[in-house]
Amino acid sequence: MKALILGIILFPFFLSAQDYIIKEGVPEDLKEYKIIFFKHEPIKVTANPDGNSQEKFIHLRQTNHNNVIEEANTKLVVAAQEYPFGYAISTKSAYEPLLKAGYKYILTSKAYEYTHVSKQPDEDILIVFEYFIQDLTSNVVYKVFELDEMKVYDSKLMIKRLNKAIKKGYPEAFD
């Protein structure tokens, strides 16, 4: 019975993992196409600040998210200028119109789903998010780096890690 319950819980994860071909590195044609970087979006604060200790903790996580995103997004505008190829900055909820303008890739992560701020993590567990360059014309994603939950708002670090991955495939882009 436990195996059946575990299978039901994990099946959506296996299904979504099978939807994409995961590759390491960066796309070979990245310099020829534009990429979209996501700004952080505000979330609805759902936790009760006067509830039990878990509710108070989640409320703090949610309000802290909303309090830091304006600065993180401003820093993204500055940090993105260090990216060597064409790009745009949008939100995950509104990037689709850019696809008609020649944007083939997005830099994405489950960090932009914000489920981590809606629950209390296990004690002494640091959530680590994988970042991918997703090819919007195929089912291929390229794993480029990881950031822990304490660094997902550090736009400068995000672009630095992306550029480090790009430098391996395009060293001439940084000469």
**Within-domain flag for 13:** no
Q: 4 lies in a domain?
A: no
Angstrom distance (rounded) from CA 149 to CA 119: 13
| Residue 58 within any structural domain of the chain | yes
Report the mean per-residue pLDDT for the chain.
86
CB 55 within 8 A of CB 119: no
DSSP state of 121: P
User: Do 147 and 111 meet the contact criterion of CB atoms below 8 Å apart?
Assistant: yes
Rounded to the nearest 10 degrees, how much is the dihedral formed by the CA atoms of 101, 74, 152, 169? 50
> Are 174 and 167 contacting, i.e. CB atoms less than 8 angstroms apart?
yes
pLDDT of 123 > 80? The answer is no
d(CA 116, CA 64): 12
Distance, CA of 117 to CA of 68 (rounded, Å): 13
**Angle ∠(35,79,33) on CA atoms, nearest 5:** 15
Return the closest-CA partner of residue 132 out of 21, 10, 18: 21
Q: Provide the CATH number for the domain around residue 146.
A: 3.40.50
| Tokens matching residue 165 | 């991955």
Q: Which residue has the higher pLDDT, 15 or 52?
A: 52
Tally the domains of the chain. 1
The verdict on residue 15 lying in a domain is no
* Tokens encoding 72: 């993180």
Would 6 be classed as within a structural domain? no
**Among 7-11, 16-20, 85-89, 118-122, which range has the highest average pLDDT?**
85-89
Q: How far is CA 21 from CA 5, 11, 122, 147, in A?
A: 27, 18, 30, 21
Whether 23 contacts 140, CB under 8 Å? yes
Report the pLDDT value the prediction gives residue 128, as an integer from 0 to 100. 92
Query: Residue 98: inside a domain, yes or no?
Result: yes
Decide if 12 is inside a domain: no
Q: What is the pLDDT of residue 7?
A: 36
Interval 31-75: pLDDT, tens: 999 999 999 999 999 888 888 888 888 899 899 999 999 999 999
Look up the domain containing 104 and give its range. Answer: 21-174
